[in-house]
Structure 1
Amino acid sequence: MYQDISIKTTYKLEKKPLKDKDKINKEIKKQAYQLFIKYQPPLSIEEWEKEKNKIYSKIIESTNFHFYNSLPLNISISKIITKENFTIQNIYFQTLPNTYATANIYIPNGTGPYPAVINLHGHIKDGRRNISVNKRAELLASNGYICLCMDSFGSGERSEIHGESDYHGANKGASLLNLNETLLGIQISENIRCIDLLCSLNIVDKNNIGVTGESGGGSQAMWLAAVDERVKAAMPVVSVGTFNAFVMEHNCVCELLPNGLTFCEEFQVLGLIAPRALKICSALQDHHAAFTAEEMLKTAKYTGKIYELYHADNLINFQIFNHSHEFSSEIELEMIYWFNKVLKNEIRKINISSPNSYTDKESLMVFELGKRDEKIVTQSNYLKNRCNEIFSDLYNKIGKPKAEINELKKILNITKKDLVKGYNFYTKNLNNIIFSDEIIINFNFKGKLLNDVEKYQLNDQTTNKLEFNLFGTGHYKSTVAKYFDQQLVPFHTLARAYYWIGKSIIREWIIQIKVTIDYIQKIKPNCDIILKTTKEAGIAAILCSAIWPDKIKIIEIENTPISYLYKGENKFDYYNMSIHLKGIINWGDIVKALALSNTNFILTKPRNIHGKILSKKEKENFIKTYSNLKKILKSNSNIKIK
């Protein structure tokens, strides 16, 4: 049975909320559905050829995946296991520049060449060494297939501590967004390298390579086949649904296509595989809302129409099994029959060979426990290394203030229409308030929205303090999001949902801050605004003041990170998932935003991205960088650290 390691086992699950009672959930689902219904199957092959090229380009832009054709594989074999009909090689090889992955390759006895299958794992303990993954691999090898199983980025033997099993998603996986990378993109890039490896072996039939996997591994199988035409046949298992169904549900960030619903639906991604062979397997009792048989059939119907345009109806197949979310024994048999048909051209069902016993997970380890090669870079160290590479070039990338502000606006994607909509939504509770010359605005996570009594009490000349909930909290909270977030980290559900529809939580908070100040200054043009907030919301306040430099007199923030730069620490949950903003480090990080503003900042207990309070040395380095940028950008901001 498939056991998802992304779900905590120690929390007490609250009663599942009624989705129709949750206004925020309904609004986000409405926006997602409006995007979903735009996508219809193409009517001609010419229409599809144009459309698929645009989608492919958008996928590259969104995920930032790469082909590393000239990068050496540098394959190292640490152990060879001899079985009755095949051998297993425990290997590691270079997948990304200076980044290596652990893997096993199963090779049938004989001279070959043999067809090959890449066998991808989902969010399960021990990664590629899990019994379900190894069982499939040995079954494939016993039936004349070379099978390659690799640990996904941050999983299995690539976990932070060798021998443990990490979950690579949530805040840790989402942190890649700040580098303009994605966990999905890294997985695509590394899986492409698996094909590179197979194509480097003389024993492999390079014209007959397939890919399969369950759950998150099935998702990887779909993406790999969609972007790399060297895959002749794909079989994603319990992983196909609709992108629309991902919104406001529990799914990993490795399955997140940022801005995805703004340019495609899942049937179009599967359509990129056409006219190559595709078999989709789903489970009737699947508890994942995104992967139900109903959602799969919506996608399969439209994907099938694309295959019809190629006259390749015989190469697409979908099947529903009466069990739960797993790669069952039934599906394993269908896997052999399907690959025999499309990779070996064996039409009739043949006898399937099964190994007498399966290799234990300890034997499949590439390295002895605790003796892992330093070439196996963990997620934390990858983030640290990439941050250093990107930020080392900071001063060479600074443009004029207006150009920098415009680049930041592109990252945030805030339009005039968004501001008008936000103004109407967030300022409707400010009627009948008489504002003073100095107004303190407190944006917080826990305060109550102003009610009628409080507004009446504030209706005089002494009004100087207003308190608002941030989107996603208090009056603007989502009970559906809170329910799913129990299993992971706060704002996991809302942050992922917003990324699917082309937004971010930080962006929403910036809009909320901007329109609130606009309303107040429309009523009281010459008032002084003092903005107070904390933690993740402090970033929204800083970025807002960078885009509109003269709106706020003083910003007081507490416990806010002053940089997105990762230090190699395996600590990611001091801040919730609202904090991530795609490409912010590449743009110049928080320090550049501070240097662009004309606001006076009071930073109380400033921290790094891991939540650690800055040391004296770190504060000095930060002020030095800020001061240098301030001179270059010629702003009037000031910083006081408490």
Structure 2
Amino acid sequence: MMKLSYFFLTSLTYLLHCSYLLAQERPVSENNFREPLFKVVDDMEKRHHITIQYDSTKLADLWVDFAQWRYRGTPAQTLANVLAPLPLSYRQLDDSTYRITSYEYFRKHPKEGKQELAQLMASYQTLAQWESRSGDLSSCIRETLGLQRIHPSPIAAAIKTPKRQYNGYTVENIAIEALPGLYVAGSLYVPTGRSGKLPAMLCPNGHFASGRYRPDHQLRCAMLARMGVIALSYDLVGYGESLLQLEESDHRRSLTATVQLINNLRMLDFIHGLPAVDTSRIGITGASGGGSQSILVTALDDRIKLSVPVVMVSSYFSGGCPCETGAGHHFCGGGTNNTEIAAMAAPRPQLLISDGNDWTADFPTIDLPYLKYVYGLYDRKNLVQNIHLPDEKHDYGPAKRQAMYAFVAEHFSLEIDTLKDPSGHFSEEGCVVEEEARLYAFGMDGQKLPSNALQGFVQLQDALR
């Protein structure tokens, strides 16, 4: 009898174990109809007659609950349902090809951006309503980025190198102490042969290789100087001479969003305090990440009288780097976006340059009407303009610089006829592209970096406490 009972219990245990294994292998309600993602992707391709591209390492060990229940009538609907619980998203490459990508929290669908702007426009019908909204956003952004923790004025006098003389301008390298022990290096381009106070432009660089040492960045600053504008170029965190104190990887930290804004405001303090500068004519221009800095500084500081953000502003793309989005200031006011932040420049003159091969491709149809609406509340629609270059890419190339030069010349009342070639374009031939080492503020090996300079991200965190 005992042998029979033992045999019965053993058999029952075995059957239950087999049932459990079967339930794990076969999608049934007991295991939430669970299937491995790679199998679901293979099935989607067959069902919808499509090709799905993916990195197999991103799909490894990922499972989909209720997999078969997530299928819908179109590939896009099915992909959206299947990937929604996972840290993944997708892009449609053509009618029958899709690519699975990492989830990009900073990117939305253009239709979502358009809808957001429509809702925002409906929420402020009058100038008073808009200015209330703008004021609330400004306060929240300042608090979110921690600007209340910084010193109210520059800590020490700027470090300067000897000037280099060129045709119509000089260049000297400078560095300022933006936070205790944190130095920001740059180059100051100053017109020669000019009398009276001069306009000035801040020129933050974006996420481009070589940063402010790039030829196009140098040409932009030199040309502005030849036009009669003092131009100030400076490093991003984790670029250029910033690497004497921090690592390149520190650029992609959330705290960098705060540090870069502080650096920009310190450079604005510096240029605002130069005796030669006409403080009623200070502007800012940058491309990509430099465009992010341009709209944010303009939104928060009315000392900026003109702005030219390039290939950046979009209602459905907030910036692909934590240095642009990591602090969470886009959550302010119940949710905002870069186009609304750019609108905070109103009614100051603003030129937004877009192209056809990045997230600004829809700018003329989605974002510009919204900005015209906000500027219209001030009866200043003409002061916000867009140059759209559908065949160009994500850069600050010649056509984009030409548009910026013309806009700055118009609004800063510059005499520039002698600087144009026979075709009417601004001639950059007199501008010199220097070797990188000539732009160093701290010497070839960083030997001139002050002794109190902090070293490493931990010390940077301490400086902000």
In the alignment of these two chains, the number of paired residues is 359
Name the counterpart of 1:328: 397
State TM-score, norm by structure 1: 0.51
User: Does 2:442 align with 1:367?
Assistant: yes
User: Does 2:218 align with 1:134?
Assistant: yes
1:148 partner SS: strand
User: Does 2:357 align with 1:285?
Assistant: yes
State TM-score, norm by structure 2: 0.69
Letter in 2 for 1:70: S
Name the counterpart of 2:387: 319
Letter in 1 for 2:373: K
Cα distance in 2 between the residues matched to 1:316 and 1:90: 33
Letter in 2 for 1:266: N
Name the counterpart of 1:474: none
Map of 1:585-604 to 2, 5 A cutoff? none
1:85–1:356 Cα change, 3 Å? same
Name the counterpart of 1:576: none
Letter in 1 for 2:146: N
User: Does 2:337 align with 1:260?
Assistant: no
Deviation at residue 227 of structure 1 after TM alignment: 0.7
Name the counterpart of 2:304: 231
User: Does 2:238 align with 1:154?
Assistant: yes
Deviation at residue 266 of structure 1 after TM alignment: 2.4
1:59–1:166 Cα change, 3 Å? same
1:44–1:125 Cα change, 3 Å? same
Cα distance in 2 between the residues matched to 1:90 and 1:347: 26
Deviation at residue 240 of structure 1 after TM alignment: 0.8
1:60–1:346 Cα change, 3 Å? same
Cα distance in 2 between the residues matched to 1:71 and 1:161: 19
1:63–1:349 Cα change, 3 Å? farther
Name the counterpart of 1:201: 274
Q: CA deviation digits over 1:309-352, x for unaligned, max 9?
A: 00111110011112110111011111111001111266999723
Aligned equivalent of 2:459, options 372, 384, 398: 384
Deviation at residue 167 of structure 1 after TM alignment: 5.1
User: Does 2:366 align with 1:298?
Assistant: yes
The answer to whether the 8 A contact 1:160-1:166 is kept is no
Name the counterpart of 1:23: 84
User: Does 2:293 align with 1:220?
Assistant: yes
Cα distance in 1 between the residues matched to 2:396 and 2:354: 9
Letter in 1 for 2:213: R
Map of 1:112-191 to 2, 5 A cutoff? 112-160=196-244, 166=248, 168-170=250-252, 173-174=253-254, 176=255, 183-191=256-264
1:194 partner SS: helix
Cα distance in 2 between the residues matched to 1:199 and 1:187: 18
The answer to whether the 8 A contact 2:190-2:230 is kept is yes
Deviation at residue 96 of structure 1 after TM alignment: 2.1
Cα distance in 2 between the residues matched to 1:279 and 1:202: 27
Name the counterpart of 1:98: 181
1:133 partner SS: helix
Deviation at residue 128 of structure 1 after TM alignment: 1.7
Cα distance in 2 between the residues matched to 1:149 and 1:364: 10
1:369 partner SS: coil
1:106 partner SS: strand
2:121 partner SS: coil
Cα distance in 2 between the residues matched to 1:220 and 1:19: 35
Deviation at residue 383 of structure 1 after TM alignment: 2.7
Name the counterpart of 2:411: 342
Instruction: Provide structure 1 residue ranges, at least 5 long, that are not aligned to the other structure.
Output: 1-12, 177-182, 391-642
Cα distance in 1 between the residues matched to 2:313 and 2:448: 36
Q: CA deviation digits over 1:423-477, x for unaligned, max 9?
A: xxxxxxxxxxxxxxxxxxxxxxxxxxxxxxxxxxxxxxxxxxxxxxxxxxxxxxx
Cα distance in 2 between the residues matched to 1:139 and 1:121: 16
1:297–1:155 Cα change, 3 Å? farther
2:162 partner SS: strand
Letter in 2 for 1:386: Q
Aligned equivalent of 2:157, options 70, 74, 80: 74
1:50–1:161 Cα change, 3 Å? closer
The answer to whether the 8 A contact 1:86-1:141 is kept is yes
The answer to whether the 8 A contact 1:156-1:166 is kept is no
Bigger mean CA deviation after superposition, 374-383 or 259-268 = 374-383
The answer to whether the 8 A contact 2:175-2:185 is kept is yes
Letter in 1 for 2:384: I
Cα distance in 2 between the residues matched to 1:347 and 1:80: 24
1:380–1:154 Cα change, 3 Å? farther
Cα distance in 2 between the residues matched to 1:89 and 1:305: 42
The answer to whether the 8 A contact 1:134-1:358 is kept is yes
Q: CA deviation digits over 1:589-641, x for unaligned, max 9?
A: xxxxxxxxxxxxxxxxxxxxxxxxxxxxxxxxxxxxxxxxxxxxxxxxxxxxx
1:141–1:353 Cα change, 3 Å? farther
Deviation at residue 56 of structure 1 after TM alignment: 0.8
The answer to whether the 8 A contact 1:284-1:323 is kept is yes
Name the counterpart of 2:343: 271
2:228 partner SS: coil
Instruction: Provide structure 2 residue ranges, at least 5 long, that are not aligned to the other structure.
Output: 1-53, 60-74, 90-102, 421-425
Cα distance in 1 between the residues matched to 2:301 and 2:460: 28
Name the counterpart of 1:564: none
Alpha carbon RMSD of aligned pairs, Å? 3.3
